[in-house]
Structure 1
Amino acid sequence: MSNATNPTAEDAPPTTDEESVSVGTWLTVFGGVLGAFIAVLNIHITNASLKDIQGALSATLEEGSFISTAYLTAEVVIIPVTGWLAMVFGLRPYMLFNTVVFALTTLLCASAWSLESMLVFRTLAGLAGGTLIPLSFMLILTLLPPSKQAIGMGMFALTATQAPSIGPTLGGYLTEAFGWQSVFYLQIVPTGIMFLILFQGLKKTKPQLELLKNGDWFGILSMAVGLGAMIIVLEEGNRKDWLESDFILNGTLLAVTCLITFVVIELKRKDPFINLRLLARRNFLLSNLVGIILGLGLYGSVFIMPMFLAQIHGFNAMQIGLVMMWIGLPQLIVVPIVLRLMPHIDIRILLAFGAFIFGLSCLLNIHMTADYGHDHLIWPNIIRGLGMPFIMVPLNVIATAGLDKEDVGSASGLFNVLRNLGGAVGIAVLATFLSLRQQYHSSHIVENVSAYNPFTMERLQGFANHFGNLGADPILAQEQALRAIDAIARRESFIMAYNDCFYFMGAAFIVSLGFIALMKKPG
């Protein structure tokens, strides 16, 4: 199936001159990139409103978590199979259909009357929105000549990095100002613009429905079940204490069995729906490994930093967004600079520089204290934002350099799904790592907080005097003092655990430098 005619080359205004790209083609590429941006933004802007949505639908915290999990699971499942489905149904009808479905289901999410209805609509939105990410990637690779693809990759890079940065800010503001429904209504406008651009720019093509007769259905089914089970396990594992839960244990066994079956089927079939043999190409494999680490850092930092601000400082969604937006703003300036440098500097050097800068920004957060607030976190976030385009744009170019047209769909699916899986695995690992390190630091702090420690006794007496001055009797004042000491010890143990998480992410990017060193220079 991967050797079937790739539809995208015929679906847009032609580009006959290697150095010349028509305005219509650029608009079509922009429409695709806009779709990828909206699809990524959807989950991050919605996460900022989860508490309000849970309250409105009378859902518990655990039930409400599936609102995000449903979308993410559907998105990850559909990404690998999108290239093949675009060949079966034709890129234009397939992309326009999914755009309409995404808009309608997103609109229905704002009108959800129960948790069950919300989960159905979020799943459908994920299935439709997930296709827009690899299809955008495919448009860049098939509509633009090699000399212009770096610009398209720069546009695509912003979709993966800007959405997580501005999502919490935008979601927090809209929720507080207009209610949680507004985060869904807002997405209808750019989705409508995208539909009009693609409706005008993509040429009509005939579907290849005959591909359905010999479809790799066992491969698709095993992939879908395996990836779906894996995402659910990763999302729910920490809350359910991992393998101590029968649900997580059974889900893990199902995921492993199905994914192994999927790999065996795809490697044995002559016409697999996705070409896993692309991972035998050195640069493509190494690019995906770096992409997994990028997913860990990108989504992990967006996961850990808001938790630190909410738990330690009590920030609301809007205040958290004002801190996180400094990751996104520098990228708007840096992406054009990266594109200017790429023709003159080995892009492996640019990629290594970006990985080093991102890793450094994480290491700048390993000494956080209870006094760290907005002003202390701006510079690490700015540095993180400066490094991200140096990773995303060169990495996309290295991964796709020299690809044959028939492999574009498979490469797009693999590259995007592995980066998303890197984020999902990274968040799950960081959540567990945070919990373990907090317990470790808490035990060490408790060892030093005792009645025989003069510093502890002095602090305890100070709190008791304070509460006594507020009117508490001696016994109550002593109890309140003990609770205050316990709260401080618990807070400090979490702060040190957050510091360890940033150390973990920084170390991962240092490891990525080894993968980059093994890459061949793209031809």
Structure 2
Amino acid sequence: MATATTAAIPARPAPSEDALPSTRRIVAFLAMVFGMFMAILDIQIVSASLTEIQAGLSASSDEISWVQTSYLIAEVVMIPLSGFLARLLSTRVLFAVSAAGFTLASALCATATSIEQMIVYRAIQGFIGGGMIPSVFAAAFTIFPPSRRAVVSPMIGLVATLAPTIGPTVGGYISHAMSWHWLFLINVVPGVFVTIAAWTLIDFDRPERDLLSKFDWWGLIGMAAFLGSLEYVLEEGPRNDWMQDETVLVFSIVLAIGAIVFFYRVFTQEEPIVDLRAFTNVNFAFGSVFSFTMGIGLYGLTYLYPLFLGQIRGYDSLMIGEALFVSGLAMFITAPLAGFLSTRMDLRAMMMVGFLGFAAGTWQLTHLTADWDFYELLLPQILRGMSLMLCMVPINNLALGTLPHDRLKNASGLFNLTRNLGGAVGLAVINTVLIRRNDFHYGRLAEHVTWANPEAVKKLDDMTRNFQSHGLDGPTAALSKLSGMVAQQATLMSFIDVFYLLTVLFASLAVFAMLMRKPPAAAGGGGGH
């Protein structure tokens, strides 16, 4: 990769060990953190309320999934681009414009009258909102001394993990108490305040306008084609049998071409659209792999819990939200503990504890039954929430704590991207496993539910008599009920298979945690997305 040119305006010096940022900068940083919270929350806030939005927009079941997909595709393109834009425009301009655009797009989403309008507005919302997220991590390193990062790191880590976790809960309450329009309108007033605070208070850096003449448009086109198509293929592939679907096949080809163009430009341009040199740092490389895997756990379980409660337990959006608040509460309580431990124990050991705790939680879920409710899910949710925080702080401290300040803007974008891609890949794998294993288990169970099985015949006869006693068509109702029981059991077994895979994955990560190098005692990082 070509060496980047020196900025025309010298970078601000790194904060000293004991220097405290001014009140102005602290308030500006808190406003940025809140803006990041809004952007991350909006990924999942609609997940428990898609049925209400579908009814309101008269959308089909295939179309409604694009309310989330369009947001994710647009956001995943902006996140790595934000590092270059922050250098070109300055953190102040990028964040303020992103906050203003996100607020406006949120208002537009609430006014959508068709699914087509909603998809366009959500894409705009995701793209512009993606500019806020990585800026917070670079700002944390710019304005806070290393001695204060034990406080700042858990704060950002909490926001980054709490927002997607409580998204279904918040969305369920809002859509039930008011209407789905308020899922987006709640962003407007806070968004205005965040925009004003960002524009008037942020003074962390200065723009490097000379970068505009070196902007790599072909690199941007290649990156958009690569990441956007990748997100689409991962989202739509599992439900459309991957390459058997013509559209998925076309986007796979676009993905391959975009990847070739993107990586060629990255390694040949003087100022590439994304600087990959951060991966030469061993800790950042390993930390990005761990961040990718944490994305699988974070977004995977945020998807699996509501799916189980909706499909098996028949919960509506409000009931799902009430059942899932525990993980968020556990994260909130564990955040200060994670900050305390990060200054008093080997971060690699702390990370191992987090991985093993996560594996313990998913192992408990391998005993899932159709009767599991709030209390059965309580301990797995607590283990998940605590473990995410115990993993998040050390992963980010180890990955970002040893990078030079001039690489932080690009590195924070890449680091956030790995978590998003981990979530996308994880959901694609999870959906594929659920579909394939459900078919497998249904076939195996159906082999035993035949007229040659005395127990199956007895069960069918008992149900037939029961339905007939209620004046129903006994044989037909009994067969339908028995088929539903087999389908439900097959679905449960496919869920258990996924939880086995997650258990093995996170238990394995605990072994690899010690491969990272221990950073200097003062080094620290931010959270992730």
- Listed as ranges, the matches of 1:25-44 within 5 Å are 25-44=25-44
Note if 1:45 corresponds to 2:42: no
List per-residue Cα deviations over 1:325-380 (Å, max 9, x = no partner).
11110111211111111222001110111111011111110111111111111111
List per-residue Cα deviations over 1:425-476 (Å, max 9, x = no partner).
100110110011111111111111111212111111110110110113xxx3
List per-residue Cα deviations over 1:466-523 (Å, max 9, x = no partner).
0110113xxx311211111110000000011111111111111122223312111112
Q: Which amino acid aligns with 2:223?
A: M
- In 1, Cα distance between the equivalents of 2:58 and 2:114? 8
Whether the aligned pair in 2 keeps the contact of 1:7 and 1:90 (CA below 8 Å) is no
Whether the aligned pair in 2 keeps the contact of 1:296 and 1:426 (CA below 8 Å) is yes
Q: Which amino acid aligns with 1:438?
A: N
Change (3 A) 1:5 1:512: farther
Number of matched residues?
A: 518
1:223 aligns to what? 223
1:516 aligns to what? 513
List per-residue Cα deviations over 1:69-99 (Å, max 9, x = no partner).
1111110000001011112122212211111
Task: Give the Å deviation of 1:57.
Answer: 1.6
- In 1, Cα distance between the equivalents of 2:506 and 2:18? 36
Note if 1:187 corresponds to 2:184: no
- In 1, Cα distance between the equivalents of 2:247 and 2:501? 28
Percent identity over paired residues: 34
List per-residue Cα deviations over 1:83-142 (Å, max 9, x = no partner).
111121222122111111110110111001222221221111111110111011111121
1:172 aligns to what? 172
Change (3 A) 1:231 1:2: farther
2:527 aligns to what? none
- In 2, Cα distance between the equivalents of 1:314 and 1:7? 59
- In 1, Cα distance between the equivalents of 2:145 and 2:8? 16
Whether the aligned pair in 1 keeps the contact of 2:287 and 2:395 (CA below 8 Å) is yes
List per-residue Cα deviations over 1:204-228 (Å, max 9, x = no partner).
9764333121212222211111000
- Listed as ranges, the matches of 1:388-467 within 5 Å are 388-467=388-467
TM-score of the superposition, structure 1-length normalised?
Answer: 0.95
Task: Give the Å deviation of 1:16.
Answer: 6.0
- In 2, Cα distance between the equivalents of 1:166 and 1:281? 33
Unaligned residue ranges in structure 2 (runs of 5+): 521-529
Unaligned residue ranges in structure 1 (runs of 5+): none
Q: For 1:345, what is the secondary structure of its paired residue?
A: coil
- Listed as ranges, the matches of 1:345-364 within 5 Å are 345-364=345-364
Task: Give the Å deviation of 1:34.
Answer: 1.1
Whether the aligned pair in 2 keeps the contact of 1:8 and 1:91 (CA below 8 Å) is no
1:344 aligns to what? 344
Match of 2:474 among 464, 473, 477: 477
- In 2, Cα distance between the equivalents of 1:324 and 1:255? 36
1:498 aligns to what? 495
Bigger mean CA offset, 95-104 vs 190-199 = 190-199
List per-residue Cα deviations over 1:177-206 (Å, max 9, x = no partner).
111001111122332332233233213976
Change (3 A) 1:333 1:383: same
Whether the aligned pair in 2 keeps the contact of 1:286 and 1:515 (CA below 8 Å) is no
1:325 aligns to what? 325
- In 2, Cα distance between the equivalents of 1:511 and 1:290? 11
Whether the aligned pair in 2 keeps the contact of 1:15 and 1:22 (CA below 8 Å) is no
Task: Give the Å deviation of 1:19.
Answer: 4.5
Whether the aligned pair in 1 keeps the contact of 2:357 and 2:387 (CA below 8 Å) is yes
Note if 1:314 corresponds to 2:311: no
1:240 aligns to what? 240
Change (3 A) 1:204 1:20: closer
TM-score of the superposition, structure 2-length normalised?
Answer: 0.94
Whether the aligned pair in 2 keeps the contact of 1:45 and 1:167 (CA below 8 Å) is yes
- In 2, Cα distance between the equivalents of 1:160 and 1:503? 26
Bigger mean CA offset, 181-190 vs 427-436 = 181-190
Change (3 A) 1:9 1:174: farther
Bigger mean CA offset, 130-139 vs 215-224 = 215-224
List per-residue Cα deviations over 1:372-411 (Å, max 9, x = no partner).
1111111110111111111111111111122112111111
Bigger mean CA offset, 450-459 vs 198-207 = 198-207
- In 2, Cα distance between the equivalents of 1:372 and 1:113? 39
- In 2, Cα distance between the equivalents of 1:289 and 1:8? 32
- In 2, Cα distance between the equivalents of 1:516 and 1:372? 33
Bigger mean CA offset, 24-33 vs 302-311 = 24-33
- In 1, Cα distance between the equivalents of 2:8 and 2:133? 17
CA RMSD of aligned residues (A): 1.9
2:523 aligns to what? none
- In 1, Cα distance between the equivalents of 2:141 and 2:131? 16
Q: For 1:370, what is the secondary structure of its paired residue?
A: coil
1:265 aligns to what? 265
Whether the aligned pair in 1 keeps the contact of 2:11 and 2:406 (CA below 8 Å) is no
- In 2, Cα distance between the equivalents of 1:3 and 1:514? 40
